[in-house]
């Protein structure tokens, strides 16, 4: 499996119409915008940022197809979120037929019972999927604050035992120590596993991340690309300046409560002219007005407001 996932990967949002239907035209527009940035190395669709849990099987396939139609040079990683191993395998086969180059596995909800104390569930899940479908796999490693967050040791064990694993998204937030435990464990393996951040990008890049798999890239692709390249080139002065300039927006997007994070992505995308509305699918609820003002103010200070 020769696919390498590094640099900036965009966990793209999924636009909806006022009636909650998939807005294919706006999704096409978003992908064309991201393609023009010149530095998005993969799209990760149908994941959390894309409200993948609310998408039908056909919609998941259609999202992959649209991205491939608009940008066939950049690989698509399909987010897989299923309640059972059988369902996950079906989703992966759909994604592969639609043109996905890899998948990212979200933990099934059965993990919620004992993810941290009983690693055998996570390990077996990855083994079963790798045996059923030949496709590169990205691990989605959940935070310790969530019931699905198995330990860094379990993540490293999965990568060591499952040859299909090529990358891991470490959703550790501001918990740099947990992220570094994963990073150091992966670096000790005999083959390279790409370790990808999701937020607190400046700090994660400084400690050696191979890139970021993040929804922040929907509306700030150039920032993410420039920050990663600055750190990689050793230009820490430029990296610090970029971080300082964008700190208020990043703080507004990733503040507590985390449940609104994906809605915040849409708010930022709306005010930067990338979306036509703020629609999220239930059971998510509309974002509070105070949150909207906070994000809008941060964008205005950056000069990014388009509406």
Quick check: is 305 in a domain? Answer: no
Quick check: is 271 in a domain? Answer: no
pTM score, whole prediction: 0.96
**pLDDT tens per residue, the chain (307 residues)?**
689 999 999 999 999 999 999 999 999 999 999 999 999 999 999 999 999 999 999 999 999 999 999 999 999 999 999 999 999 999 999 999 999 999 999 988 777 777 888 889 899 999 999 999 999 999 999 988 888 888 999 999 999 999 999 999 999 877 899 999 999 999 999 999 999 999 999 999 999 999 999 999 999 999 999 999 999 999 999 999 999 999 999 999 999 998 999 999 999 999 999 999 999 999 999 899 999 999 999 999 999 999 8
Quick check: is 137 in a domain? Answer: yes
Quick check: is 291 in a domain? Answer: no
Find the angle CA(168)-CA(173)-CA(176) to the nearest 5 degrees. 80
Q: Tell me which DSSP letter residue 271 carries.
A: H
Query: What residues have CB less than 8 Å from 96, skipping those under 6 apart?
Result: 133, 135
Please state the domain count of the chain.
1
Quick check: is 11 in a domain? Answer: yes
**How far is 292 from 267, CA to CA, in rounded Å?**
7
Quick check: is 272 in a domain? Answer: no
**Which CATH number characterizes residue 90's domain?**
3.20.20.70
- The long-range contacts involving 141-144, CB below 8 angstroms and separated by at least 24 positions, are 141/168, 141/169, 141/170, 141/171, 141/172, 141/182, 142/107, 142/115, 142/171, 143/171, 143/172, 143/173, 143/175, 143/178, 144/116, 144/172, 144/175, 144/178
Containing structural domain, residue 194? 7-234
Quick check: is 103 in a domain? Answer: yes
Quick check: is 136 in a domain? Answer: yes
């Amino acid at each position: 499996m020769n696919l390498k996932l590094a640099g900036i990967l965009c966990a793209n949002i999924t636009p909806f119409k006022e009636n909650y239907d998939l807005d294919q035209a706006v999704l096409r527009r978003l992908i064309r915008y991201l393609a023009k940035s010149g530095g998005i190395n993969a799209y990760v669709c149908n994941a959390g940022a894309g409200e993948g849990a609310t998408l039908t099987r056909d919609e998941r396939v259609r999202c992959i197809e649209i991205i491939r139609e608009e940008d066939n040079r950049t690989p698509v990683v399909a987010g897989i979120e299923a309640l059972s191993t059988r369902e996950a395998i079906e989703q992966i086969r759909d994604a592969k037929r639609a043109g996905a180059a890899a998948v990212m596995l979200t933990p099934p909800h059965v993990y919620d019972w004992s993810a941290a104390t009983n690693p055998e569930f996570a390990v077996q899940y990855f083994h079963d999927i790798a045996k059923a479908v030949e496709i590169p796999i990205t691990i989605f490693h959940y935070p310790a604050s969530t019931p699905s967050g198995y330990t860094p040791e379990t993540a490293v064990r999965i990568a060591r035992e499952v040859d299909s694993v090529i990358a891991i998204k470490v959703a550790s937030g501001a918990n740099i120590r947990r992220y570094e435990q994963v990073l150091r464990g992966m670096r000790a393996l005999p083959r390279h596993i790409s370790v990808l951040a999701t937020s607190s990008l400046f700090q994660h890049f400084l400690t050696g991340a191979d890139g970021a798999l993040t929804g922040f890239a929907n509306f700030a692709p150039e920032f993410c690309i420039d920050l990663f390249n600055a750190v990689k080139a050793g230009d820490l002065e430029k990296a610090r300046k970029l971080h300082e300039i964008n700190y208020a927006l990043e703080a507004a997007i990733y503040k507590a409560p985390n449940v609104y994070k994906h809605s915040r992505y849409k708010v930022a995308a709306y005010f930067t002219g990338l979306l036509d509305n703020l629609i999220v699918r239930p059971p998510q609820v509309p974002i509070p007005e105070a949150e909207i003002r906070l994000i809008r103010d941060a964008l205005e200070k950056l000069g990014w407001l388009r509406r």
